[in-house]
Amino acid sequence: MGILNVTPDSFAEAAPLADVAHAVAVALQMEADGADLLDIGGESTRPGAEAVSAAEERARVLPVIRALAGRLRIPISIDTYKAEVAKAALAEGALLVNDISGLRYDPSLAGVTAESGAALILTHTRGRSKTMYQEAVYRDVVADVAAELEEAMAIATAAGVGLSALIVDPGVGFAKQAAHSYGVLARLADLASALDRPLLVGPSRKSFLRDAVGGRPPAERDWGTAAAVTAAVLAGAHVVRVHAVAAMAQVVRVAEEIRRHADGTDATG
């Protein structure tokens, strides 16, 4: 899943996307570089970010989705927690909704998704962008994340979203200290077993990598991202959400080959 942030304050890019034409060019290049999905977002959800109105978010994402309609062959995901924004994006052709709040911010998003028949990605988090780290207290991070994602899944299915349409994301970097994020990655197989749904993992350039890569800024964390992506794929992740699609596509393909040979049935010699 390639990340297309059409925001002026994304944490991970050196410069924001200048206009719709630029965003479309980047999206098409991501597809050419090997992206299987494209996630378009109009509000930064990094820790400490300011919220934007639904109107502003729509103004940022809808022109890009419209411009990509009929040109992009891969599915578009709308990265939003607002039902109003999701409904408009789905009407323009988006096929997935990526809710970083796991239905905590706007539970009506579940009904909008169910009505459209779209897939829904439920991400684990706590609190809002400015307070999430205060909520990073866990008894057992994997067990707690699993339990809270199960609650989100129950809300979604009660609103009519089919279980087969749900994807879960443990929320690496959301309401988690670095140790929690590494703990989730290390025990991702346990989470997959507990939830029995496809897993999306989004470690790309996030702050939990910072100390391990020598304090480098987000745009210089792709090697660290590659390690986290490899760990996620080997542990059974179905989707990884990344910025550097061309490089990470290679990482994923090699990690997939390693995973495919894990039981030794394809070994020779």
Residue 173 domain-assigned (yes or no):
yes
Q: Which domain holds residue 148?
A: 2-260
Q: What is the pTM of this model?
A: 0.93
CATH assignment of the domain containing 224: 3.20.20.20
Residue 202 domain-assigned (yes or no):
yes
Residues of the chain with pLDDT under 70: 9-18, 47, 265-269
Kindly give, in sequence order, each residue whose CB lies less than 8 Å from that of residue 63, ignoring residues fewer than 6 positions away: 20
What confidence score (pLDDT) does residue 267 get? 55
Pairing type for strands 200-201 and 119-123 reads unpaired
Catalytic residue list contains 176: no
Number of domains in the chain: 1
**Cα Rg of the chain, angstroms:** 18
What confidence score (pLDDT) does residue 269 get? 46
Kindly give, in sequence order, each residue whose CB lies less than 8 Å from that of residue 254, ignoring residues fewer than 6 positions away: 230
Question: 60, 82, 197, 206: which one is catalytic?
Answer: 206
Residue 205 domain-assigned (yes or no):
yes
Residue 222 domain-assigned (yes or no):
yes
Residue type, 72: L
HEC sequence for the chain: CEEEECCCCCCCCCCCCCCHHHHHHHHHHHHHHCCCCEEEECCCCCCCCCCCCHHHHHHHHHHHHHHHCCCCCCCEEEECCCHHHHHHHHHCCCCEEEECCCCCCCCCHHHHHHHHCCEEEEECCCCCCCCHHHHCCCCCHHHHHHHHHHHHHHHHHHCCCCHHHEEEECCCCCCCCHHHHHHHHHCHHHHHHHHCCCEEECCCCCHHHCHHHCCCCHHHCHHHHHHHHHHHHHCCCCEECECCHHHHHHHHHHHHHHHHCCCCCCCCC
Phi, psi of 202 (to 5 degrees): -125, 80
Question: 73, 241, 253, 260: which one is catalytic?
Answer: 241
Residue 267 domain-assigned (yes or no):
no
Catalytic residue list contains 241: yes
Residue 200 domain-assigned (yes or no):
yes
Residue 268 domain-assigned (yes or no):
no
Residue 265 domain-assigned (yes or no):
no
**Structure confidence by residue, pLDDT tens digits, 151-197:** 999 999 999 999 999 999 999 999 999 999 999 999 999 999 999 99
95: which 2 tokens?
């096929």
